[in-house]
Amino acid sequence: MCGFAGFMMGESDRDIGGAELARAADRMADRISHRGPDDAGVWSDAAHGVALSFRRLAILDLTDAGHQPMASPTGNFVIVFNGEIYNHKDVLKDLRSRNRQLSLRGHSDTEILAAGFEEWGIVETLRRCVGMFAVAVWDQRSRRLHLARDRFGEKPLYFGISKKTLLFGSELSALTSHPAFVPNIDRDALGAFMRFGYVPVPQTIYKNIWKLQPGAMISFSADHVLAGRVPELTKFWSVEDAYQQSTMSPFLGTDADAAASLENILRRTVREQSVADVPLGAFLSGGIDSSLVVALMQAESSRPVKTFSIGFHESKYNEAHFAKAVAGHLRTDHTELYVTAADALAVIPSLPDVYDEPFADSSQIPTLLVSKLARSHVTVSLSGDGGDEIFGGYERYQLMQRVWRATSMIPSSLRIPIGRQIASLSAIRSAKSGSLANKANWASRFLAAKSFDGAYRAMISSWNDPESVVLGLSRQGSHPASEPVSRAGSLLRRMMLTDTVAYLPDDILVKVDRATMHVGLESRSPLLDHRVIEFAMSLPDRMLVRNGVTKWIMRDVLYRHVPRSLIDRPKKGFAVPIAEWLRGPLRAWAEHLLDHKSISGAGYLDAQVIQKIWQEHLVGGCNRAPQLWNVLMFQSWMERATELVQVPGRNAA
């Protein structure tokens, strides 16, 4: 796991030498040095205006043979690579079967990947790879730069054309450090952020800077850079295609067959992802996903697996004792840390630096803290991310289906007025009826939706009407949840697919990648192996959710290793008591950022609307923490980005 950055200049701008190109690229990589503290490298081609830079966190092949940027065997491809190819040994075996004369300097997956590009081409090689990755490849023969990203977006990759220069890198801060970068905020992206708490692919908070879509490769020539246009993507894998293929070849076996197949696939995946030349452990929340990963890790290991969990002193948020019980049963080497509001307050000022653009999933706080805890013991940590989206684990899936079936028969001409009447209940301000007010607010959104997909978008939105708070918003913000991913599947599948292409890569995986890489820790997610996901997609809905029991098939496998009594309980998730903290120990911090004059002066948000919901939250009648946390994370980010961002009325828009 590492980080890279670079750029490609248009032909008319290539008037600087190779040394200057290298220095500029090196400065970009310096901004993301936390992603790779073990080694650094830079490569440039002055004749073609290309420079690549790299920061390495050494996981496989700790020798100089893993140094990047790295050339392919013939020297045609020069690459920088962030991630892990878990089946690199299988890829190497295939390469040697075709080229017995192949000679490699070391055993890093990067070197094997580069050799594969020469043998099969970039796209075909990536299709053969199982892993998480982002890669930039300069093809010296064709004079084209290729950028590619893994199937689910586990590894980040940003790019954009500014002042006839293509900029790219593992984090936005690498791009912002280049002199060609123009820092204008995209109000539509801000609207999407206020709605969902994250900026969805392909947008970023900045105009003309983009996130590469998962499972895609994009290629640039000098002509593309000069014209400032983006060529079409080449998709080598997509969630939608995988789902459609699974419907044509569904799983037809028994429950026992399905459980056995899933365990075999997961055991292989965990085995592959447990390979490292550095200390390895796992995050353990005590929930189904992480418990299953740890159980299989321990079953495959001859020594106690190192496990890590975070707890809260507020009992309704705390699951640390469940994690401890699971760890005790599996006999792992377990470490836990209890988080206080003071711990959160100490972490919060660093969040804009960690997440690089506005990001408002409040579980980012314990994620960062548990990453720091794990990093003090290991360099690689496995997690259970992806289980809810892939195996139907979110409770909202069940709630949505029940409510939609109960209300869908009501004509929209009646539902909307009813929703408006119910919305009046949200004006209740007493602490005693706060829960009722929150439910009324959600119900009014749901009833106003014209379709199931619109209703689901309302459910997953913090601000269901971002145009009411973002000034000058031209539209409500693009997002895969704005349109159904697939109308062919069940309601359950439509929600799962929507979350898999949106919430999973743009929220969950961003949260984990930035938190772990900020402390120099590599996180791996066995449940996101595409073979696991393709198998899960082939299963009938009844093997995912049965009689109201979520993740039924995962539970069936897990019960072979952990007693039901340690697992069967209501799901809490990785939530933190933000609502209570904002009324208490975080209040002064929040009031500073929510200052009316400061918000009005920036010119992006409606200060009056924000003050209104802040007062509603303080009174205690309504929980406005989801909306407020989005505002606070944007304001906190703005404080750090003031020198970069173009502020209306103070500098160019």
Question: What would the 3-class secondary structure string for 53-89 be?
Answer: EEEECCCCCCCHHHCCCEECCCCCEEEEEEEEECCHH
pLDDT digits (tens, 9 = 90+) for 229-239: 667 789 999 99
The amino acid that residue 387 corresponds to is G
pLDDT digits (tens, 9 = 90+) for 121-140: 999 999 999 999 999 999 99
- Decide if 192 contacts 199 (C-beta within 8 A): yes
Taking the C-alpha atoms of residue 173 and residue 217, their distance in angstroms, rounded to an integer, is: 22
Pairing of strands 131-139, 144-149: antiparallel
Q: Which two tokens stand for residue 6?
A: 């670079």
pLDDT digits (tens, 9 = 90+) for 315-353: 666 778 899 999 999 999 999 988 887 888 899 989 999
Pairing of strands 158-162, 70-71: unpaired
The percent of residues in the chain predicted with pLDDT above 70, rounded, is 88
Residue 1 — very low, low, confident or very high, per pLDDT cuts 50/70/90?
low
- Decide if 536 contacts 391 (C-beta within 8 A): yes
- Decide if 156 contacts 513 (C-beta within 8 A): yes
Q: Which residue has the higher pLDDT, 207 or 484?
A: 207
pLDDT at 12: 57
For the ranges 46-50, 168-172, 309-313, 541-545, which has the lowest average pLDDT?
309-313
Indicate the Cα dihedral angle 620, 584, 344, 32, nearest 10°: 80
Residue 574 — very low, low, confident or very high, per pLDDT cuts 50/70/90?
low
| Residues 26-40 as b or e (16 or more Cβ within 10 Å = b) | bbbbebbebbbeebb
pLDDT higher than 80, residue 253: yes
For the ranges 33-37, 75-79, 309-313, 614-618, which has the lowest average pLDDT?
309-313
The amino acid that residue 448 corresponds to is A
**Using CA of residue 91, residue 92, residue 95, residue 96, what is the dihedral sign?**
negative
pLDDT at 18: 76
pLDDT at 141: 94
Q: Which two tokens stand for residue 168?
A: 């790219």
CA 144 to chain centre: 28
Query: Which fold would CATH assign to domain 238-574?
Result: Rossmann fold (3.40.50)
Domain ranges of the chain: 2-237, 238-574, 578-641
The percent of residues in the chain predicted with pLDDT above 90, rounded, is 67
Q: Which of 449-453, 461-465, 472-476 has the highest mean pLDDT?
A: 461-465
* φ and ψ at residue 131, rounded to 5 degrees: 170, -170
Indicate the Cα dihedral angle 524, 526, 529, 534, nearest 10°: -150
pLDDT at 650: 40
CATH tag, 2-237 = 3.60.20.10
Among residues 360, 361, 362, 382, the alpha carbon closest in space to that of 371 is found at 382
Q: In what order do the strands lie in the sheet with 333-339?
A: 333-339, 306-312, 280-283, 380-382, 522-524
pLDDT digits (tens, 9 = 90+) for 525-571: 999 999 999 999 999 999 999 999 999 999 999 999 999 999 987 66
